[in-house]
Structures are given as structure tokens and as C-alpha cells.
Structure 1
């Protein structure tokens, strides 16, 4: 049994008293509304026009239910349901629960004054006045609690819906959806598009903790395949972002216009597949370029390095390493030797072998092709 219902069972209002109170309900309701307008600024505008009429009817209905309760004819459940919906409506109108609770406090005071003014002259015994007051405030407390529950439930529902809209926007961005779709998703999520976005890949269990360190407008997904999490960071300062991600297994893609966030995502995915050691994709552009088309790169190596295929695998691998160092160090023998940890004479000998295998080693086109072909260390053998 609710507190208000228990108080009602302790109060015996006769028909004469009930009739006297009912006669002042409309006047009391109007006084309640005027007091709320005066004392609770959040309702100064809300209680005008059609909305004002709706709320006035709600106040009269609540008081009517209260009188039914006081007279022993029920009404509490209907009033609680209405109060619950009122709490939900406050969220839709953008008002906090504090404002509604203030209105309830003002309403309780004014309602008690008005109802008592009708009950006491009607002969309500002094011993019953205190019970009547207790019932009034217990009833208001229950309405307040019902409204608070409605307010909290609506906030939770809206928060969940908002989170789902943000997640859908993130999925649309990663999928490379059209500009029209992205603008619709952003509007539905009430998300202000930035100029650029940077995609970060990291383990799913690290996604939410990392997200809390970043810009609040960051989008997050932590339910992608392979236990992968994704952060889409708006207008991020790259050095600062990299510092924030220290200690996490993150791969940071390039910054791209927000509608092209999928390009940042795709590069981060490729970088992660290329090497688990890559953190900043901008530091590995050459490797990413050379690995962009694996079949084409394999064909290039097979054609350009064909002379090495005639040699034993160990010799071929050693000459390829020498050729790579020679190209990187522009033929400076001492530097090549230092990079390979061999004697300069060894470099000279190996380069003699390479010139026999590649007679046109000095031509610009051959240098370009060989540089590309040996740009990534061989994984063969």
C-alpha cells in the first residue's frame, strides 16, 4: 500500500466536506498554476497558450484524483500514471527534473492552502486537519516520485536511442555511404560534422577507455569482427592524438574529410594487416604504397629480379640485401658496408656480381624499377 493510500484510510471525510473541497478545486488549480508561473522561472513561458491550458487541466485532474483518494474512492493509480507521463514530457520539452520538483513543491503549498480553506469551514474536525495535511503532502510526494521515474526512463530511452544513432552514423562512415546518407545519419544523431576525421583501430576492450580520453564528438564502435574497436576522431591534432594513445595497441589512419572517413579506416586496416608494429600510418607510407596491390608487386619483383632467380636462394637473398642497401645509400660503399655489417671489399665484390646480372644497372628506369622491387624486404626463403 502506498503512503498516500495509507494516509487516506486514516482520514474520514464526510460528503459535506468532500463537496466543499470539490467546490474550490478549479479556483485552487488556477492559484497553483499562477504560483508556479511566478516562482518557477522555467515555466513562465510553458504555461501560456495551448500548453498552459493542458497543464491547467492536468493540475485540476490531479487535484480531482486527490479528492477521490481523500474521499475513499481511489484515483491514486490514475494520478501516478499521469504524473509519470508528465515526467517523460518534461524531457521532450527540454526541462530538468529540478524544475518539475520545484513546481510540485510550490503546488503542494498552494494546494494545501486552497483545499484547507474549503475543508475547515465545512466542519473538518481539528483532529482530522493534521491527517488531511499529511495526506496532501504524501500524495504530492508520490506524484513527484512517479514524475521522476518517468523523467529518468525517458532520458534513458533517449540516451539509448541517441547512442544507436551515433553507432549507425559510425557504421555508415566506415562503409563509405553517400553524402546524402551521411548527412541524414548525422542529423538523426544530432551530431555536428567536423572538417576532418581520423580513424583509430585498437582492440575492442580498449575502445571505450580510450574514447573517454578524446573529444566528446568522437564516434566509437567496439563490436566489429575479430574483436576490433574503432574510434573516429573529429578534427584531431595528430601528435596530441598519438600521445593520448600511448600504451594502447592502436593504429592511427590518416586525417581525411569527414565524409571520406572510410579512406582513413581502410588504410588503418591495411597497415594492421601489413605489420603489427605499425602505429602511425603516416610513418609507413612507402610500405603501404608498395603493398597496396600485392599481386602487382609480386609481378614486378618476379620480372625485375628475374636474374636473381637463377641463383641459389641464399646467394639471391644476400645480393638482394646488398642491392637494397646500395640503392638506399646511393652507391656509397662505406655506408653500404656499415649497413650490412660487412667489409667494403665484400660490397665491391657483390656489386660486381650485380652488375653482371643487371648490365643496365646505371639507367634511371632500371634504378626506379629495382628500387620499387626491393623496397620491401623479401619474405622468401
Structure 2
């Protein structure tokens, strides 16, 4: 357990005349501290001017008064309410600096400059008031310990504010990702983006991938990418999968994602304008729903456009298929199956008998017989471009 603040900073009781002399110099000392910080720490050259500078001078005066309170307190006594309020103010200062966007390095530099200036002024007053040389070293140690404590408390406040604001921003980004996958309007999306301090990229690309790959993929993608998570709509049917909206994914990055995902079940949607990210996600989700993506097929939805198109309206496709195969009504199921695969191969290979035979693993004479049977059933329709189009789509 760390030592109590009063124990770390106590142990020296200054004579009343010395304390009184230093108290008389506090206002001027505070002014010189602020001037030194403005001059030596660029981050504060503007913020500490004018009204804010005067407020900081008051705060410095209060902090130094708290320090003198400690030097006037008998050994073993508590630090006093003013001293505690000084440390509370230091903590609040750290949080405020984080909210203002200034780094802890800048605040630490301001403390160092302030400590040096304060020590110069206070030690001069103390010596002039008769502080013995033997106690001057202990006094110096006390000054710098006190300011180190203030700095440490401010660091804690700065870190706490960053952690809190980071969690708040993360929640805003999660809401933004969820909104983009729903029907969030442009104005609402822009408002969420502003609250999350998120600069919209040109495009977003939906990637649905096992949650276990998230750590690896995050190192490859733009920091503006959004994590929609395992709660993205439709993922309840795909356990252990998560959704990512990847910012400005180019062709090279796309290939690298495909490589890193490997043969895992996953789907990478098309790149869309960031506000239209839902379209990319829906396509990736449909690809998984069709049993495509990973294992023995590509995770890139661009490689599955034909099945995606032909299954876009399952009912319409079933009706079209029934119409194309209507001439076979009444035939035995086994015969229908053989003639259907032959018709499909005939369409895809544009009637080339040897190619059809190779595709179906049958003898060319068998193909000749089946095609002859199809001509009996379909007649002139096999030469009708409209029928050829319908049959190609229906049997694709």
C-alpha cells in the first residue's frame, strides 16, 4: 500500500516568519509561474492568456497556499481540507486537459516549469526570512515532492478521462455501425459520426468473419473501420461470426483479407459508399446463407454473383424452372433428371457434343440420343433466343 500523502510530504515544520514571508509572495509567484509556462510550453502559449490565465494564477496561488499549510502543520497532523481540495482540483485539471485534447506530456512539462519557478521564488523568500541553510535542502525536497504529487494526481485524472471518453466513443461507433446496417438516414448517420469523432471514409466493405480472426484482421484494415460485432442483424444463424465494416478497402487490401481468412467460412461484400454499407452487408450475409464463402469456395462475394442473382427471388426462379421443364411433364423422374442435366450442358456448351459428353461423363452417342429426345419435346423452341435465355437462367 502506498504511503499516506501527509507522511510523504510532512516532516518539516517551518518557522512562522518564514511561512508569512512566502505567503506574501504567493500572488507574484503564481503570476511568474504562469508566465514561465506560457513562454516555455507551446501547448499553453495561447490557452493560458487572458481570462483563463488569471484563473490559472488563482489555482496556482491556491496550490501553493496548500503547500504552505502543510509546512505550518505540526508533524502527525492531517493535511487539512485546503490541501485535499488542492489535490481534488489537480485531478479535475487532468481530466479537463484530456477533454481539451492536450496531451499529458504537455501538462507534465507545465508542472516541471512551474516547480522550477515556484522553487526559485519560494526559496529566495525563505532564505531572506532567515531559513537556516541546513533546512533548505529538506525544504527543496518538500517542494518538489508536493508538485510531483500534484502531477501524479493530474496524470491519474487525465488517464481516467481518456478511458471514459474512449468507452463513450466506442459506444458511439457501435451505434453508428448498427445504424448503418439498419435504415439510418444520412442526417442521423452524420450526427452519430460527429458525436463519435469519426471521419467518414469514401467506402465501406462488409466482412463477415469468425470472431477469432478479428485480432489479425484489425492490423490490416483502416483505423476508421467499424466493428458491428456479433449482434449484427442476421448473425444469430451464424454463431461465433462477427461483422466488420472496412473503410476504403482497395483491391490489394481485399486480396490480403481473402488470403488471411483462408479457408474459413466468411464473406467479403462489395465496396459501397459509406452511407450505403447495408447493401454490402446484405450481400455478404446472403452469400453465407447460400452456403458459399470459405472451405471449398471463395470468401469474395464478387465470385458468386451468378448464384446471388439467380436466387434473388426463389419463388420466381422456381416458376421459371417449372415453365422451362414443362415439356417433360409426365416423364419418369429419372428421365427428367438426365434430360435436365443434358439441356443445361447443351446450353452452356452451345451444342458441342464432345464438350457436353465430357461434362456429363457419358459417351457422345448418349448425348446424341438425349439431344434428339429434347428436340422431340421442345421442337423449335431450342432455337428461340428468348427460350434459351430463360432456360439458361432457370437451370443456372
TM-score of the two chains, using structure 2 as the length reference: 0.89
2:262 matched to 1:246? no
Q: Give secondary structure in 2 for the equivalent of 1:151.
A: helix
The residue aligned with 2:332 is 312
2:148 matched to 1:141? yes
The residue aligned with 2:76 is none
Shift of 1:174: 1.0
Q: How does 1:216-365 map to 2 (within 5 A)?
A: 216-224=223-231, 225=236, 226-248=239-261, 249=264, 250-276=266-292, 277-359=297-379, 360-365=381-386
Q: Which moved more, 1:7-16 or 1:264-273?
A: 7-16
Seen in structure 2, the aligned counterparts of structure 1 residues 337 and 200 have a Cα distance that, compared at 3 Å, is: same
2:117 matched to 1:96? no
8 A contact 1:36–1:107 mirrored in 2: yes
Shift of 1:33: 1.2
The residue aligned with 1:369 is 390
Q: Give secondary structure in 2 for the equivalent of 1:120.
A: helix
Q: Which runs of 5 or more structure 2 residues have no equivalent in the other structure?
A: 74-78
CA distance in 2, matches of 1:241, 1:179: 26
Of 203, 206, 221, which residue of structure 2 is paired with 1:196?
203
8 A contact 1:166–1:189 mirrored in 2: yes
CA distance in 2, matches of 1:223, 1:49: 51
Shift of 1:239: 4.4
Give the alignment's Cα RMSD to 1 decimal.
Answer: 1.9
Cα shift readout 1:171-218 (whole Å, capped 9, x = no counterpart):
111113111111111222222222222211111222342122111221
8 A contact 1:208–1:220 mirrored in 2: no
The residue aligned with 2:191 is 184
CA distance in 2, matches of 1:213, 1:61: 50
The residue aligned with 1:108 is 115
Shift of 1:107: 1.1
CA distance in 2, matches of 1:239, 1:34: 53
The residue aligned with 1:123 is 130
CA distance in 1, matches of 2:301, 2:37: 60
Deviating above 6 A after TM superposition, structure 1's stretches of 4 or more consecutive aligned residues are none
Q: Give secondary structure in 2 for the equivalent of 1:254.
A: strand
Q: Give secondary structure in 2 for the equivalent of 1:342.
A: coil
Q: Give secondary structure in 2 for the equivalent of 1:310.
A: coil
Shift of 1:333: 0.9
TM-score of the two chains, using structure 1 as the length reference: 0.93
2:176 matched to 1:155? no
Cα shift readout 1:46-87 (whole Å, capped 9, x = no counterpart):
110121112111111111111111111624322211111111
CA distance in 2, matches of 1:314, 1:49: 92
Seen in structure 2, the aligned counterparts of structure 1 residues 245 and 280 have a Cα distance that, compared at 3 Å, is: closer
Q: Which runs of 5 or more structure 1 residues have no equivalent in the other structure?
A: 376-381
The residue aligned with 2:53 is 52
| Count of residue pairs brought into register by the alignment | 375
Q: Give secondary structure in 2 for the equivalent of 1:245.
A: helix
Shift of 1:137: 0.9
The residue aligned with 2:21 is 20
Q: How does 1:43-82 map to 2 (within 5 A)?
A: 43-72=44-73, 74=80, 75-82=82-89
